[in-house]
Structure 1
Amino acid sequence: MSYQVLARKWRPQRFSQVVGQQHVLTALANGLDNNRLHHAYLFSGTRGVGKTSIARLFAKGLNCELGVSAEPCGECENCRAIEEGRFIDLLEIDAASRTKVEDTRELLDNVQYKPVQGRYKIYLIDEVHMLSRHSFNALLKTLEEPPEYVKFLLATTDPHKLPVTILSRCIQFHLKALEPQQIADHLEHILQQEKIAYQRSALDQIAKAARGSIRDALSLTDQAIAMGNSNISSEIVHQMLGTLDGEQALDIIQALQLADGEAIMQALRQVAEKGVEWDQLLQEIAAYLHQIAMRQLLQPTSDPSEQENRIDFLASHLPPEDVQYYYQLMLSGRKELPYAPDQRSGVEMTLLRALAFHPKLLQWEKTGVQTATEQGNHREQAENTRQHVEKIRQNFIKHEEVSQQQQSPSVSDVTSAVETELQTQSTPQLTVQPEIENQAQPEILEAESAAAENAAPQSSALKALRARDQLRQNTQKKNPELTTGEAATQESALESRARQRLITAAPAKSLKIMERLSQISESSADSAKPESQLPLMQSEAIEDDESKNEAETEIIGEDYHWQWLNPALEQEELGNRLRPSDIKQAILQERTPELVAKVLRISAERDHWSALIEKLNVSGMVKQLGLNSLLLQEEEQMVVLGLRPEQSNLNNERYINILEQQLNEFYQRKVRLEVRLEADQTRMTPLEQRRQVYLELGEQAKQALQQDPQLALLQQEFDALLDLDSIRAVG
């Protein structure tokens, strides 16, 4: 017997075998059981949803030898003849090929003759909307009042093209397009009966590509069976349909969540290599974002698939507002594709737009970048502040001219003038926005803002400057022969002490004010420099120092100033002794390279699988798969890993294949890798081993400090307390 395609072989033979369309089947079954039969039925709906199949089942129920019933026997001669398409009283007519009025009249000439074999003569007219206007007119009278033994069954994919006079003479049933889940379940049932290997994810892709049509899904399944040699896999289906691998769309969404631009570009390169339509990529991303949003609202399924595990993972890590925003960007990106220079650049710009508004990147921009628009908005305010600082400078010049006529220049006049100007400004002339603070031009604004915010540090620093001036006057009175260089050295030491007071009180802001005071002091002596450049002197250095100090303060919680008491020691070789810079780096780093190496070494000594992972050439998610798994079984040809259930999103076929390949290269033989979910808490995974070792090293560091005699002496003499929570191992 010749091969029969699945769409014909698995055509339903009973109402119970029809997929979906329960609203139609219920009405037809009740009409057959109660013998309330209309003379004309119209079945409408998209292709492949069962219009013709339901019409044939209805004809079988009308002509079964056991009587009119919604459950025909299927064994009598009439039922078998209808199934095989040789029932003489069932006339199937293709209206698309018989559109002329002469064809319709020839058809209606036979209506007057009674059925030969069955109970009813049934006219099944497919694609009835293709008939011409004259054919419809010829059909009207007979369709309205046919003989009692004649039934008309009409089928169409476009009921809107039928005249209203035809619609009013029929009972109309609209068949709905089927859901992908219904189609995939039906395909799974058929393939199990056919004993053909398959992957559920492949069936889901076929059901999605069928777009609600059972017949299209069965045709695609036939094609997939041929391509895969009776083994339907996801890779075969993606290759056959030319569609995007769902994992790539999820990888892009995960990269958006992590603000990883490099991962996004890598995924786009892979899509380009496969030749997938770029519009389809945005469509896939939008579809998965919809699933993520639904998963955030609904409970996850009890038996999730591998892909659903990733969706659950993203649903728990992506804020709902970000999901909605990304979804809107994908839709607008699809609209803009026709206007892009090319479709790939349009997709890249859409994803970069989504990446630009990531909260992490926005935070970076807020602390380190000011746009040109913001600079324009604050230009007028910056000019006002520049004029105010210029006023302070002019006051200093005036005091300097007066002091030159006296015995010696006095810094007290300068400090008094500056202090007076700052105190008269009880409130700053403008509110400095956080975004302005990192620009070179608005440095003037920071000096003015700091003047209003740090009154106490200013007072302390200005008092120190007065002390320097007093020292200069006393030195000249007592030791007139003292050289200018020696006096300058003493004055410089006192001025440095004043600066250190100000830095200790308010490091970042006060440093800027001191630098500005230095600029003002130096500007009067340096006439070669134009006045327009004075406010910008040392701005770059100040900005670098401030950003560095703020970054260190954010990490260690305090503003440390590392310096040598004797600068000459900085150039000497210390051997094995630690430098202050080395101690600083150890504190700033969360985990030093020495500590990481020590944790890895101890973990490798305790666990064979931990040592083996470090020898494999794996990274990223593949390495995470190994680190979160237990080695359950290691044989000659097979390795079995037990993955923690909470990390089930790592149970990805692609990651498993890469890890299996690396194991083959390591063992120099073919090894099959199997990953299972393992909830055994009596053993620790490599990642749990490393965490345990890290905690143990931290406890050892606490015990060592608690037992240190010098530290105990400090606690005793100064009544100090040791903050155990702040202690961590560094090597």
Structure 2
Amino acid sequence: MSYQVLARKWRPQNFHQVVGQEHILTALANGLKENRLHHAYLFSGTRGVGKTSIARLLAKGLNCIHGVTAEPCGECEHCKAIENGNFIDLIEIDAASRTKVEDTRELLDNVQYKPVQGRYKVYLIDEVHMLSRHSFNALLKTLEEPPEYVKFLLATTDPQKLPITILSRCMQFHLKALDQQQIAQHLAHILTQEKIPFESPALDKIAKAAQGSIRDSLSLTDQAIAMSNVDIRTDVVNTMLGLLDDNQPVEILYALHQGNGEKLMHCIQSVADKGADWDELLIEVGEALHQIAMLQLLPNRIDEESQLGFLAKHVSPENIQFFYQIVTVGRKELAFAPNRRVGVEMTLLRALAFHPKFSRAEPAEYSANLAVQPRPEKESAGKKMEDLVEMPVYNQHLRASASPQNASANPPKSASNALNALAQIERLRASVQTAGSAEKQLPEPVQPKAQARELPVISMPQKERPQTDLIDRLASLAQQSQSNGNAGGPSRKPVSTQGADNALDAPAADNAQESENDDNNDEANLAETYQWEWINPEMAEAENVIRPSEIKQAILKEKTPELVAKVIALAEERDDWTKAVEHLGLDHLKLVKQIALNSVILAQSETEIVLGLRSNQKHLQRESAMVALQAALSAYYGKDLQLKIELNDDEQRLTPLDFRRQIYHELSERARQDLQSDKKLKLLQQAFDAHLDLNSIRPV
């Protein structure tokens, strides 16, 4: 007898031998047991998961001599004929080779004849999505109302290509792809029965390469048996599938973690020597990073003796995520690389170049070029501008080259903009010294202890920022800093001037608050320097008194502190109890103040005060809060008062909180009316066909 491949030899002969798909087998078994049978079944799923095998088992259960059963005997004449593929009442059709409507009509002509041997005539149409549109139309009527002795079993890998009219006439079952563990266990069972030695890691690799398909895994197992001479080993499977050794991805991660480029290139060369797939290399590295991340998330699973456990202990989660992102992005770019090896090398070199451990270190030559010259501890009053303008080393070289003794030399074009900027600075210094001759000497700013910092260069075309405007700004900033220095001492900050356009850059602040203030100032400056002209000349006559940055800050907050204070002040004018609540001194007792804000005075005498609390705030009543509120009221009125609180929901009597809401609503309505009647906005609406969003208006 000739050799039979494993995929055919180990095709399941009953429902119990089917791997996975329990949800489908349960439904079919129950239908067979209860004799609740549909006339058309559709099995869908990826290749090699058991669509055709389950359809044949269903045909066995329908035509077994012992009756319709979920457990066909497999020994009777009908079961054996179906197993061998020669049962006359099981018509298997390959729709991929019989796509024409004539083939479908020929098939349907025989539907009217009753089965010859079996109980049912079963039509098994494989790859049914390959039928033509006319074939589907010809099949519709028969598929919807076939004779009682006809069953249709359809199988497809792409159910989306089927017309909805076909899908609605079938009972649909979608077979899921099997997971790696299920396939590996099934392969181990088959090889044990076949008495073929194997290594478990080798089967895991075959199961992973099968991608959820039992048939693919059995075909790969046949190939591994042939390559290994009936001894399935891990190294043979790695060579067959073009996989890496288990240690190679980990060695690459070691090299990345250590920042060792030489070791990294050595690992890549070893991968090339074994002829591994380059995309598979990035996949393996990504999976190793995923395993490390999971070990870091679940530290009780870490085995410190394993390589992955060691990396999970010594590589930060941030670096793991960084390396993973580099690898996944590199896979997408692999198709555009000159060749796949170059793409992998550049991906790993990118991870090495932007390694968080080394990215903060700048080249020495670049840092030296941007070093700031140290200044003496004490300087004369005539050097005030030197306090405000720090010159980098390369700017001082340009300044020396622009001296009178070098005036005859023609400077290169690359330095012309810088020389022009230096001339502007000299003129600015002269004007500042003249204007500040009567001022006192500036106090010395506090110098940071850190070494010279690097000054970023921000370039802007001169057309967008005219030189005269820049000098005026530098002069005004210098005078402002000078006045601030006289008034506030060492709070003044030096201004750095660099490059062709002398862009301003304030020194880095020592805390987050100063940094935020600098960002806000920069935003305001950019808003002022932006040059544009009105399309409508009438709008140019209106004076802009509010900066865009101020508007932005206002709309980001629902209620600004200024608005809250205004609402509280207006509420105090309308109600005495509201005024009293604000003067009880309960700002540090939030819970007690909430009771007062949600209450009204029901009665008040020389010895007692009765408050009516809203019922939706009754949860605020606590003994300690009542004692604190009674003490605050006694202190405010200057006499001992007994406090009593009752629930009161009378909407005619407003609480302090109700007064605030009422005033806020009035301010909001007034703001809407003011904006709707504003001439500027009307001009904007006319010029730009704009619309005013009333819901976004907030009082300020």
For the aligned pair, the TM-score class normalised by the smaller chain equals: 0.5 to 0.7
**Residue 295 of structure 1: aligned partner:** 295
In the alignment, residue 115 of structure 1 is paired with which amino acid? P
* Aligned-partner Cα distance in 1 for 2:140–2:83: 30
Q: How does 1:374-453 map to 2 (within 5 A)?
A: 375=370, 382-383=390-391, 427-428=444-445, 431=448, 433-434=450-451, 436=453
Structure 2 segments unaligned to the other structure (5+ residues): 375-387, 397-440, 455-700
**Residue 332 of structure 1: aligned partner:** 329
1:276 to 1:109, Cα distance in 2 relative to 1, 3 A: same
For residue 336 of structure 1, report the CA deviation from its aligned partner. 2.5
1:273 to 1:427, Cα distance in 2 relative to 1, 3 A: farther
1:148 to 1:269, Cα distance in 2 relative to 1, 3 A: same
**Residue 529 of structure 1: aligned partner:** none
Q: How does 1:682-721 map to 2 (within 5 A)?
A: none
Tell whether 2:238 aligns with 1:238. Answer: yes
**Residue 116 of structure 2: aligned partner:** 116
* Aligned-partner Cα distance in 2 for 1:114–1:377: 99
**Residue 72 of structure 2: aligned partner:** 72
* Aligned-partner Cα distance in 2 for 1:71–1:290: 44
Q: How does 1:139-288 map to 2 (within 5 A)?
A: 139-288=139-288
* Aligned-partner Cα distance in 1 for 2:390–2:196: 76
For residue 299 of structure 1, report the CA deviation from its aligned partner. 6.7
For residue 242 of structure 1, report the CA deviation from its aligned partner. 2.1
Q: How does 1:580-599 map to 2 (within 5 A)?
A: none
1:434 to 1:217, Cα distance in 2 relative to 1, 3 A: farther
Q: How does 1:671-682 map to 2 (within 5 A)?
A: none
Could you report, residue by residue, the CA deviation over 1:677-729 in whole angstroms, capped at 9, with x for unpaired residues? xxxxxxxxxxxxxxxxxxxxxxxxxxxxxxxxxxxxxxxxxxxxxxxxxxxxx
Structure 1 segments unaligned to the other structure (5+ residues): 389-423, 438-731
1:341 to 1:105, Cα distance in 2 relative to 1, 3 A: closer
Residue pair 1:32, 1:70 contacting (<8 A) in 2 also: yes
* Aligned-partner Cα distance in 1 for 2:159–2:185: 29
* Aligned-partner Cα distance in 1 for 2:131–2:199: 44
Out of 349, 358, 380, the position equivalent to 1:361 is 358
For residue 165 of structure 1, report the CA deviation from its aligned partner. 0.9
1:254 to 1:50, Cα distance in 2 relative to 1, 3 A: same
* Aligned-partner Cα distance in 1 for 2:134–2:356: 67
For residue 378 of structure 1, report the CA deviation from its aligned partner. 9.4
Out of 329, 340, 343, the position equivalent to 2:340 is 343
For residue 245 of structure 1, report the CA deviation from its aligned partner. 2.7
For residue 429 of structure 1, report the CA deviation from its aligned partner. 6.3
* Aligned-partner Cα distance in 2 for 1:50–1:373: 69
* Aligned-partner Cα distance in 2 for 1:387–1:111: 95
For residue 22 of structure 1, report the CA deviation from its aligned partner. 1.7
1:203 to 1:430, Cα distance in 2 relative to 1, 3 A: same
**Residue 323 of structure 1: aligned partner:** 320
* Aligned-partner Cα distance in 2 for 1:179–1:143: 34
1:125 to 1:348, Cα distance in 2 relative to 1, 3 A: same
For residue 291 of structure 1, report the CA deviation from its aligned partner. 2.3
1:32 to 1:376, Cα distance in 2 relative to 1, 3 A: farther
1:223 to 1:351, Cα distance in 2 relative to 1, 3 A: same
Residue pair 1:293, 1:315 contacting (<8 A) in 2 also: yes
**Residue 44 of structure 1: aligned partner:** 44
Could you report, residue by residue, the CA deviation over 1:430-485 in whole angstroms, capped at 9, with x for unpaired residues? 54654749xxxxxxxxxxxxxxxxxxxxxxxxxxxxxxxxxxxxxxxxxxxxxxxx
* Aligned-partner Cα distance in 1 for 2:107–2:348: 61
1:315 to 1:19, Cα distance in 2 relative to 1, 3 A: farther
Q: Secondary structure at 1:29's aligned position in 2?
A: helix
**Residue 102 of structure 2: aligned partner:** 102
1:23 to 1:172, Cα distance in 2 relative to 1, 3 A: same
* Aligned-partner Cα distance in 2 for 1:235–1:429: 67
Could you report, residue by residue, the CA deviation over 1:257-308 in whole angstroms, capped at 9, with x for unpaired residues? 2333222111101112223332222122112212222233347779x9x9x9
1:117 to 1:299, Cα distance in 2 relative to 1, 3 A: farther
1:237 to 1:148, Cα distance in 2 relative to 1, 3 A: same
**Residue 19 of structure 1: aligned partner:** 19
Larger fraction in helix: 1
TM-score using structure 1 length: 0.51
Q: Secondary structure at 2:70's aligned position in 1?
A: coil
**Residue 352 of structure 1: aligned partner:** 349
Could you report, residue by residue, the CA deviation over 1:341-361 in whole angstroms, capped at 9, with x for unpaired residues? 443233222212222343443
In the alignment, residue 10 of structure 2 is paired with which amino acid? W
Residue pair 1:385, 1:429 contacting (<8 A) in 2 also: no
1:262 to 1:63, Cα distance in 2 relative to 1, 3 A: same
* Aligned-partner Cα distance in 1 for 2:372–2:145: 82
1:149 to 1:355, Cα distance in 2 relative to 1, 3 A: same
1:127 to 1:372, Cα distance in 2 relative to 1, 3 A: farther
* Aligned-partner Cα distance in 1 for 2:238–2:52: 31
* Aligned-partner Cα distance in 1 for 2:64–2:156: 26
Could you say what the CA RMSD is over the residues aligned between the two structures, in angstroms? 3.1
Residue pair 1:197, 1:232 contacting (<8 A) in 2 also: yes
In the alignment, residue 370 of structure 2 is paired with which amino acid? Q
Q: Secondary structure at 1:232's aligned position in 2?
A: coil
**Residue 463 of structure 2: aligned partner:** none
* Aligned-partner Cα distance in 2 for 1:433–1:340: 43
**Residue 85 of structure 1: aligned partner:** 85
1:387 to 1:58, Cα distance in 2 relative to 1, 3 A: closer
Tell whether 2:322 aligns with 1:314. Answer: no
* Aligned-partner Cα distance in 1 for 2:6–2:244: 26
Residue pair 2:180, 2:204 contacting (<8 A) in 1 also: yes
How many pairs were matched up?
A: 398
Q: Secondary structure at 1:293's aligned position in 2?
A: helix
* Aligned-partner Cα distance in 1 for 2:373–2:23: 67
1:326 to 1:31, Cα distance in 2 relative to 1, 3 A: same
In the alignment, residue 122 of structure 2 is paired with which amino acid? I
Q: Secondary structure at 1:42's aligned position in 2?
A: strand
1:385 to 1:194, Cα distance in 2 relative to 1, 3 A: closer
* Aligned-partner Cα distance in 2 for 1:128–1:430: 81
1:164 to 1:313, Cα distance in 2 relative to 1, 3 A: same
1:73 to 1:382, Cα distance in 2 relative to 1, 3 A: same
Residue pair 2:129, 2:162 contacting (<8 A) in 1 also: yes
**Percent identity for Structure 1 against Structure 2:** 66
For residue 238 of structure 1, report the CA deviation from its aligned partner. 1.8
1:153 to 1:362, Cα distance in 2 relative to 1, 3 A: same
1:2 to 1:258, Cα distance in 2 relative to 1, 3 A: same
Residue pair 2:373, 2:393 contacting (<8 A) in 1 also: no
Could you report, residue by residue, the CA deviation over 1:70-100 in whole angstroms, capped at 9, with x for unpaired residues? 2222222222222221222111111111111
1:435 to 1:194, Cα distance in 2 relative to 1, 3 A: farther
**Residue 31 of structure 2: aligned partner:** 31
In the alignment, residue 153 of structure 2 is paired with which amino acid? L
1:122 to 1:371, Cα distance in 2 relative to 1, 3 A: farther
TM-score using structure 2 length: 0.53
In the alignment, residue 189 of structure 1 is paired with which amino acid? H
Could you report, residue by residue, the CA deviation over 1:16-59 in whole angstroms, capped at 9, with x for unpaired residues? 21111122112111211222111000111111111001111111
1:386 to 1:100, Cα distance in 2 relative to 1, 3 A: closer
1:96 to 1:15, Cα distance in 2 relative to 1, 3 A: same
